[in-house]
Structure 1
Amino acid sequence: MAASASSQSSAQPPYSLSVAVVGGGAAGLAAALELRRAGHRPVVYEQRASIGGVWDYTEEVEDDPLGRGQRHVHGSMYAQLRTNLPREVMGFQSFPFDTAWRGSKDPRQFCEHSEVQRYLEAFAEEFQLLQHVRFGTVVQRLAPSDAAAANGSSSSSGSAPPDWLRWQVTTQPAADGQAAASSSGSSSELFDAVVVCNGHYSRPRLPQLPGQDAFPGLQTHSHNYRRPDGFAGQTVLLVGASSSGVDIAEELAAAGARQVILCARVWENPLTGEVVEAGSQTLASASVSTAAAAAAAGGKGGSSSGGVPAGAVAALPAGISKAANLAELHADGSVTLEDGTRIPDIDCVMYCTGYHYSFPFLDGFVTVQDNRVGPLYQHVFPPAAAPTLSFVGLPWKVVPFPQFELQSRWIAQVLAGRAQLPSRQEMEAHTAQFYASLEAAGVPTRYTHRMSGALQWEYDRWLAAQCGDSALPGFAWREAMYNCCGMSRKLHGAGYRDAPLPAAAEAEAEARKEAAQLRQQRAAAVAAATAAR
């Protein structure tokens, strides 16, 4: 049975452990860097031939447009996607995401997805992370092992306490980026710890609705959408109005779709999760003016910082209609909405309904129930396997890259023995209390890992405190710019990516100042290391 980081044993910190990292996307790269900085020996398993995870764009789509087939494509990126966050906010704390790094080609503040991929490649090159990555390798199974420590006898200097779980990691060569059909070529390796960073934007989450099997038109998930070509002249109904739903609706309308109908249960600011409208309005009232939207959101004519009207929401572009959520599909090609409206002649229903968390290589310790991965202490450690099994990157509605760094830093410090976890019983009690508080507040189980609004910043500061960094440099301007971005989405609608951020001048100046300081510090460190050789 696993014990907490506070367990007493003959091994003495700091520990230097062998650590398997599952996934070579942004989370896996952050984990590799923080683990190495803490004195560990990371090995990153990446099933594809390149780093980047979901940012590594592919034109490939799956054979089943709903993602239910045997052939799986990891990527969910569409060709014209641009970031929905300012690049400065997105970047790692240790590597500014401005345009001063080698390879930058798109200077826009809300850049195209290929610029993010280039940034991740530059990050990996800057910190020499590729040496830790085993490409073309699929993790088949993670299982606890009774074997001795992966770095030798459990009583040797730097090894983990003997009561910490160790892990047998079984892998096999990838066949076209996926696990081969047979187990031939499989191999196993013993590790002191495992960090799971396999992402959660590749397994489509689909609603179960009456009439889906009888509907004659195309049904697809946004996971398999790449371009608007082929939808011209069609009536397309999209289910889900978060970032991808709104983006794709705008692309389809601009590319000549006859009608685009955007359905949602609740209308939110896709970035912040702030509810701006109830999702019950019918097609007859679908053209929402800024004034009407402000009233629906509770605006009283006041203003928020930057002079943006409180609750103001820009209308969707021409050609897009808002509607209540989808309730039923019919064999004659029509659909019925939750408010009773029936719409005929639908050519395509596209589900922009998010993704499942999936860990097919892990049997036990956590379950996934209605998209709650649990039990997990602070979204990271399963109490029964802590500290040697952990997860990075589960929260959503967040600024991801900096949070990946903080979670990874915490994990690395705990594994080194420099930071301590509560006892297993205390972690289990804390987690149960957290789940109970969500239920009492009426928060659906599927929103367990959602951190909209101020929640993510509170969580990030808590993570930093666990690592002894209560000041959290750079997060004040990140939070300010993030809030300005939310204002811009209200004010400018579809044009927010090309409009100046309102009231962001001071935060942008702080971002530039910090980037310059980080580069100076990095250059000095590299020069010192070179001189010492």
Structure 2
Amino acid sequence: MVSETLQSQTKNVCVVGAGPSGLVAARELRKEGHSVALLEQNHDVGGQWLYELNVEGEDPLGKKPFLKVHSSIYESLRLTSPHKKSEKTVEEVFDAVVVATGHYSQPRLPSIQGMDTWKRKQMHSHIYRTPEPFRNEVYDMYSYAFPFLDTKGMVVVDDDRVGPLYEHTFPPSLAPSLSFIGIPRKIIGFPFFESQAIWIAQLLSGKRVLPSWEEMMKSIKEFYHSREAAGIPKHCTHEIANFEFSLHLQYCDKYGDNVGFPRIEEWRKQLCLSALINSDANLETYRDSWDDHELLKEALQSPHFTQLGLEDSPM
């Protein structure tokens, strides 16, 4: 919804997390004229794209709450050198907080009888770096956790449902001062994060407005009811494309429509769907086989696609 107020507002905003969603949030907030503080507990930015080699000795099942967070990136992507950490504590008051910590740091562990007394090795797949030690093993997934956030019960995590959140982004009682980026799963991440970040930035600047508290709560309850009626368990609340691949793309376009963000090009949609269907059908080999030459030709003609020549190559 576009605001009738033309005067732009500048806010002091804290973004928690410097992964892909946090970085794009900081960028879009600054574009709107906001002052941004970006907080990251790791030694560098990048989130899940920051490769950490030595992780197994930390906590194989992720049960210890205060160990440093590491990414899920595999071997040979990128290595960084650690930086000296400061022991200083600083208190600051912000007009708004954007939570962009993702959901790939806190392991989701099953409840299995005898798990605490099992003598053999137990390890979460978050520790994965190379395949050899993990062949023929069973793996667990991730869950949502916000130990740094005290909302007095206005936002809770119940069986991996973070709520109540309007459009997976705003808790109605605290919006738009508190927002979340990157909560949904099974979406096309980067364009989704970008459109979400633009929406938050424009809401904080006063260019757009949210529905009333009553309307947002009604929408949330209707969404929950539709998921329950479809037989989707609570812990899959934020899985957008749970059973239908095309929902990935529809949801990205829906968020883009909130802020006039360009819809995903048709060639990109077909490329994504082709990759998703191929990965579902050929999980072990899909990375090494593809048939998308025609789509790539169309992509090269897109104004949003830049092809590097040999003279531009970083190698």
TM class by shorter chain equals 0.7 to 0.9
Quick one: distance in 2 between partners of 1:65 and 1:486?
30
The percentage of aligned residue pairs carrying the same residue is 39
Q: Deviations over 1:330-383 (max 9, x none)?
A: xxxxxxxxxxxxxxxxxxxx4x22112111111122100000000000000100
**Which residue of the partner structure matches residue 481 of structure 1?**
271
Is 1:69 the equivalent of 2:60? Answer: no
CA contact (8 A) 1:76 1:222 kept: no
Is 1:497 the equivalent of 2:287? Answer: yes
CA contact (8 A) 2:2 2:207 kept: no
Distance 1:492 1:358, change over 3 A: closer
**Which residue of the partner structure matches residue 455 of structure 1?**
247
Q: Deviations over 1:381-427 (max 9, x none)?
A: 10001111100001111221111101001111111111121011111
Q: Deviations over 1:81-122 (max 9, x none)?
A: xxxxxxxxxxxxxxxxxxxxxxxxxxxxxxx643xx99xxxx
Distance 1:458 1:487, change over 3 A: closer
Report the residue type matching 1:53 in the other structure. Answer: G
Quick one: distance in 1 between partners of 2:215 and 2:62?
40
Report the residue type matching 1:43 in the other structure. Answer: A
Quick one: distance in 1 between partners of 2:233 and 2:165?
17
Q: 1:511 aligns with which of 291, 296, 299?
A: 299
**Which residue of the partner structure matches residue 197 of structure 1?**
100
Report the residue type matching 1:21 in the other structure. Answer: V
**Which residue of the partner structure matches residue 43 of structure 2?**
49
Quick one: distance in 2 between partners of 1:359 and 1:13?
34
CA contact (8 A) 2:99 2:180 kept: yes
Q: Which has the larger radius of gyration?
A: 1
**Which residue of the partner structure matches residue 142 of structure 2?**
355
**Which residue of the partner structure matches residue 313 of structure 2?**
none
Quick one: distance in 2 between partners of 1:136 and 1:410?
35
**Which residue of the partner structure matches residue 187 of structure 2?**
398
**Which residue of the partner structure matches residue 112 of structure 2?**
209
Q: Deviations over 1:269-316 (max 9, x none)?
A: xxxxxxxxxxxxxxxxxxxxxxxxxxxxxxxxxxxxxxxxxxxxxxxx
Q: Deviations over 1:7-64 (max 9, x none)?
A: x9xx963112111110111111110111111222222111122110121111232533
1:508, distance to aligned residue in structure 2 (A): 1.7
Report the residue type matching 1:509 in the other structure. Answer: K
TM-score (norm 2): 0.86
Q: Deviations over 1:103-142 (max 9, x none)?
A: xxxxxxxxx643xx99xxxxxxxxxxxxxxxx988xxxxx
Distance 1:136 1:444, change over 3 A: farther
For residues 354-393 of structure 1, what are the structure 2 equivalents within 5 Å? 354-364=141-151, 365-393=154-182
Quick one: distance in 2 between partners of 1:31 and 1:20?
10
CA contact (8 A) 2:173 2:213 kept: yes
Distance 1:518 1:191, change over 3 A: farther
TM-score (norm 1): 0.52
Q: Which runs of 5+ in 1 are unaligned?
A: 81-111, 119-134, 138-172, 175-184, 232-247, 253-259, 262-349, 520-533
Give SS of 1:219's match.
coil
1:190, distance to aligned residue in structure 2 (A): 1.7
Superposed CA RMSD: 2.7
For residues 127-138 of structure 1, what are the structure 2 equivalents within 5 Å? none
CA contact (8 A) 2:11 2:96 kept: yes
**Which residue of the partner structure matches residue 441 of structure 1?**
230
Quick one: distance in 1 between partners of 2:252 and 2:208?
16
CA contact (8 A) 2:18 2:40 kept: yes
1:509, distance to aligned residue in structure 2 (A): 2.2
Distance 1:37 1:506, change over 3 A: farther
Report the residue type matching 2:302 in the other structure. Answer: E
Give SS of 1:421's match.
coil
Report the residue type matching 2:64 in the other structure. Answer: G
Is 1:79 the equivalent of 2:69? Answer: no
Is 1:218 the equivalent of 2:121? Answer: yes
CA contact (8 A) 2:42 2:70 kept: no
Give SS of 1:514's match.
coil
CA contact (8 A) 1:60 1:73 kept: no
CA contact (8 A) 2:188 2:249 kept: no
Report the residue type matching 1:404 in the other structure. Answer: F
- Matched residues, number: 300
Give SS of 2:93's match.
strand
**Which residue of the partner structure matches residue 257 of structure 2?**
465
Instruction: Choose between structure 1 and 2: higher strand proportion.
Output: 1
- Further displaced range: 213-222 or 403-412: 213-222
CA contact (8 A) 1:46 1:136 kept: no
Report the residue type matching 1:461 in the other structure. Answer: D
Quick one: distance in 2 between partners of 1:490 and 1:5?
39
**Which residue of the partner structure matches residue 414 of structure 1?**
203
Quick one: distance in 1 between partners of 2:281 and 2:147?
42
